[in-house]
A and B are shown apart, each in its own frame.
Chain A
């Protein structure tokens, strides 16, 4: 009887012991990487170098794919991301100190690597490109510059290019 007095509390505790059900569970991750829109950046590394002394019939031609005088721009962005590029192909730049103007017909080539000769032509129409696994894309800019209407003076113009993630 005395034994039962001690065994009783122990018996009451037994149901509290863990009984493991036969079940299986796994966990997987849910994830999303958010990108800052400002992560897409276009950096001008080298300007277009126009040398009027090389003009033939009032026109200077700089090959975007072969000429070292071409401009170089680098897109820095998210690895392997697709982006859209457009540019204005024809620009007239007025003489800021007097009469005359330059007419530039741009041509552009691009590549995922810093290899100008292996680049591909990019036309002015909307074009989809892909940033490299190093997060870079390279553009070289050249074109045909008509200086037949130019007069001595100073010419400063802009090349308009737009890039955006798709």
Chain B
């Protein structure tokens, strides 16, 4: 009886020790999990003053997808893969105890030909409807409309061609509360990209 109890007690102790350290995990078992994805922010800030330099109380500002103020993130990785891009953001823009409502939106561009300009990327990027925070798309869209061929199996003699796609980040803020403190309000936008796993 004693020898039967020992592993059970040990197991219980193990669970007790783990208490408070168990975290929800998102685990990718994708075949190409080892291939690198690179994210390069071409803009490090979504600055609403770039759209409207002087912003007063009670006013609102919208940065549209095609505006110069919209931020661009470049993604590089295996061209033959699909990727999932997710975005999350601080719920408010904050300065001390004052908060301003805002909404972040994003669009993706996966029909890259050559070296497109910022304006070309923004014009062609596909917007996600309001409320969507995640999208899966092929790294490089087949312009013929046909489905892309299956990825080349991994072997030591094969290096996948690298593809480029872009995310365009934009959004709306305001109205600024009438009693808002003057100064610099900010929040974070977190962008996560991974290979899609089906």
Are A8's CB and B7's CB within 8 A? Answer: yes
State how many angstroms separate the Cβ of A38 from the closest Cβ of chain B.
9
Are B71's CB and A33's CB within 8 A? Answer: no
> Within 8 Å CB of A39, what residues of B?
182
> Within 8 Å CB of A22, what residues of B?
28, 30, 32-37, 194-195
- Chain B residues 48 to 89 lying within 8 A of chain A, measured CB to CB, are 48-49, 53-57, 61, 71, 73, 89
> Within 8 Å CB of B41, what residues of A?
26, 28
State how many angstroms separate the Cβ of B137 from the closest Cβ of chain A.
16
> Within 8 Å CB of B46, what residues of A?
28-31
User: For the complex, what is the distance from the CA of A18 to the CA of B27, rounded to whole Å?
Assistant: 9
Residue in contact with B191 in the complex, picked from A16, A28, A165, CB distance below 8 Å:
A28
The proximity string for A residues 14-48 relative to B, scoring 1 for CB distances below 8 Å and 0 otherwise, is 00101101111111111111111101000000000
> Within 8 Å CB of B188, what residues of A?
27-30
Residue in contact with B6 in the complex, picked from A5, A30, A33, A82, CB distance below 8 Å:
A5
Are A27's CB and B93's CB within 8 A? Answer: no
Are B45's CB and A31's CB within 8 A? Answer: yes
- Chain B residues 134 to 171 lying within 8 A of chain A, measured CB to CB, are 169, 171
- For A9, A30, A39, which residue has the most chain B Cβ atoms within 10 angstroms? A30
B190 sits at the interface (CB 8 A)? yes
Number of contacting residues on B, CB 8 A?
Answer: 64
Number of contacting residues on A, CB 8 A?
Answer: 34
> Within 8 Å CB of B104, what residues of A?
30
Are B192's CB and A30's CB within 8 A? Answer: no
Residue in contact with B181 in the complex, picked from A2, A21, A34, CB distance below 8 Å:
A34
CB nearest neighbor in B for A38: B182
Given contacts A16-B22, A22-B30, A29-B46, contact A34 B183 (CB under 8 A): yes
> Within 8 Å CB of A33, what residues of B?
49, 55, 183-185
Residue in contact with A31 in the complex, picked from B37, B39, B48, B57, CB distance below 8 Å:
B48
User: For the complex, what is the distance from the CA of A78 to the CA of B173, rounded to whole Å?
Assistant: 21
Residue in contact with A23 in the complex, picked from B18, B49, B171, B194, CB distance below 8 Å:
B194
State how many angstroms separate the Cβ of A159 from the closest Cβ of chain B.
26
Given contacts A28-B44, A30-B187, contact A81 B10 (CB under 8 A): no
> Within 8 Å CB of B180, what residues of A?
34
User: For the complex, what is the distance from the CA of A30 to the CA of B27, rounded to whole Å?
Assistant: 29
CB nearest neighbor in B for A26: B39
Are B173's CB and A32's CB within 8 A? Answer: yes
State how many angstroms separate the Cβ of A119 from the closest Cβ of chain B.
24
State how many angstroms separate the Cβ of A14 from the closest Cβ of chain B.
11
> Within 8 Å CB of B28, what residues of A?
21-23
**7 more A-B contacts (CB under 8 A) besides A26-B191, A34-B95, A37-B57?**
A8-B7, A13-B18, A22-B37, A28-B45, A28-B46, A30-B48, A166-B54
B residues at A contact (CB < 8 Å): 3, 6-7, 10-11, 14, 18, 22, 25-28, 30, 32-39, 41, 43-49, 53-57, 61, 71, 73, 89-90, 93, 95, 100, 102, 104, 169, 171, 173, 176, 180-195
**What are some 11 contacts across the A-B interface (CB < 8 A)?**
A19-B27, A22-B28, A24-B39, A28-B191, A30-B90, A31-B46, A31-B187, A33-B49, A34-B182, A35-B55, A36-B182
A residues at B contact (CB < 8 Å): 2, 5-6, 8-9, 12-13, 16, 18-19, 21-37, 39, 78, 80-82, 165-166
